[in-house]
Amino acid sequence: SVPLAFFSGIGAGSKKGILFKGGAALEALNEVKAVVMDKTGTITEGNFAVQGIVPEKGQDEITLLAYAGSCEQVSTHPIASSILMVAKERNIALDRPESVEEISGKGVRAKVEGKEILCGNEKLMRDFQIQLPEKARGTYGTEVFLAADGEYIGRIQIADEIKRDASLAIGAMKKQGILTAMLTGDAQENARAVAEKTGVDEIYARLLPQDKVQKLISIREKHGSVMFVGDGINDAPVLAGADVGAAMGSGADAAIEAADVVFMTSAMEAIPQSLTIAKKTGTIAK
């Protein structure tokens, strides 16, 4: 009778765009006490749009976009696509960097036209002792800072939207008695704004991919079995470290392979739905 129950659960999932990788995934999901989510692409749309370009004195928008675009060509992060889109719209020729390195959870460092370019968050700027002007800090939205040869040259302001069904989905999980938490590499203010709008129980901001694994472990110690939901960009380690790893949306190929559950939809309601299916399946199997 056990395999039959799992078949029905797997079938119910597929109707809702939820792929369970076998009965073991359903069984594990039925034990879950906490759902830990990545922010970008999971709770938010992951469709970043450039809102503003703020060159430092003596710099101009075209130069900022050219440097940023050249750096971001190597990145698959949603931030990168938004910058590349604007560079393309404005017909900005992008140089192929002489060397380029993506720094996970921080941004990109590249050598462009003989200049050492940094394109990323405050952490990246701090790592390279770049002085940011006071005003650039604490602004709402995600800011991508740019530096050339050790000097701050400006920033690009980018915004992402919270998914429409985020608060409904988080409410549904809470009703199921599940603790909800969000992990993000983004700034504390942005994380707090998401918490206010969605009701997610706990938020942890400014985390590097390896910090996310540590947080997941401490949440598991406190609450029990944990499901992690992410898009797989920068979060493969934490996906692999969860009791149930779930990949959401289009996701990265590697994430889909590593995941126990794949949400083929980007709607957040699929998360509580998967828990409901697992519960029903578990009841039938017993």
Residues marked as catalytic: 38
Residue 53 pairs with which residues in a beta bridge? 156
Q: Is the Cβ of residue 42 or residue 281 nearer to ligand ADP in the bound state?
A: 42
Residue number with CB closer to ligand ADP (42 or 273): 42
Asked if residue 105 binds ligand ADP (CB under 6 A), the reply is yes
Q: Which range in 3-11, 13-21, 72-80, 87-95 contacts ligand ADP by CB under 6 A?
A: 72-80
Nearest to 220 by CA among 236, 238, 243, 201: 243
Cα separation of 263 and 96, whole Å? 36
Site string for ligand ADP, 166-185 (x = CB under 6 A): ------------------xx
Measured from the CB of residue 50, what is the shortest distance to ligand ADP in angstroms?
A: 12
Tokens of 34: 């906490």
Distance CA(86)–CA(50), nearest Å, equals 7
Q: Which is nearer to ligand ADP, 69 or 120 (CB)?
A: 120
Q: Minimal distance in Å, beta carbon 23 to ligand ADP?
A: 31
Query: Helix or strand or coil: residue 60?
Result: coil
Judge whether 220 and 237 are in contact, CB under 8 Å.
no
Do residues 107 and 121 lie in contact, with contact meaning Cβ atoms separated by under 8 Å?
Answer: yes
Q: Which residues 6+ apart lie within 8 Å of 42 measured at CB?
A: 229, 230, 231, 248, 249, 268
Residues within window 183-222 making contact with ligand ADP, judged by CB under 6 A? 184-186
Torsional sign, CA 279, 281, 282, 286: positive
97 interacts with ligand ADP by CB under 6 A: no
What's at 106, amino acid-wise?
K
For position 144 contacting ligand ADP by CB under 6 A, the verdict is yes
CA distances 76 to 73, 207, 239, Å, are 8, 19, 18
* Residue 9 interacts with which of Mg ion, ligand ADP, none, CB < 5 to 8 Å by class: none
The binder of 108, among ligand ADP, Mg ion, none, by C-beta within 5 to 8 A per type, is ligand ADP
Question: Are the CB atoms for 54 and 154 separated by under 8 Å?
Answer: yes
DSSP at 278: H
CB of 248 to Mg ion, least distance (A): 10
Measured from the CB atom, the residue of 72 and 260 that comes closer to ligand ADP is 72
> What minimum distance in Å lies between the beta carbon of 118 and Mg ion?
20
Q: Is 280 helix (H, G, I), strand (E, B) or coil?
A: helix
Q: How far is the CB of 246 from Mg ion (least distance, A)?
A: 14
Binding partner at 39 among ligand ADP, Mg ion, none, C-beta below 5 to 8 Å by kind: ligand ADP
Question: Which residues make up the interface to Mg ion (CB under 5 A)?
Answer: 38, 40, 233-234
Give me the sheet containing 244-248, strands edge to edge: 18-20, 261-263, 244-248, 226-230, 34-38, 179-183, 202-204
- Which positions lie near ligand ADP, rule CB under 6 A? 38-40, 72, 75, 77, 79-80, 105-108, 119-121, 142, 144, 184-186, 233-234
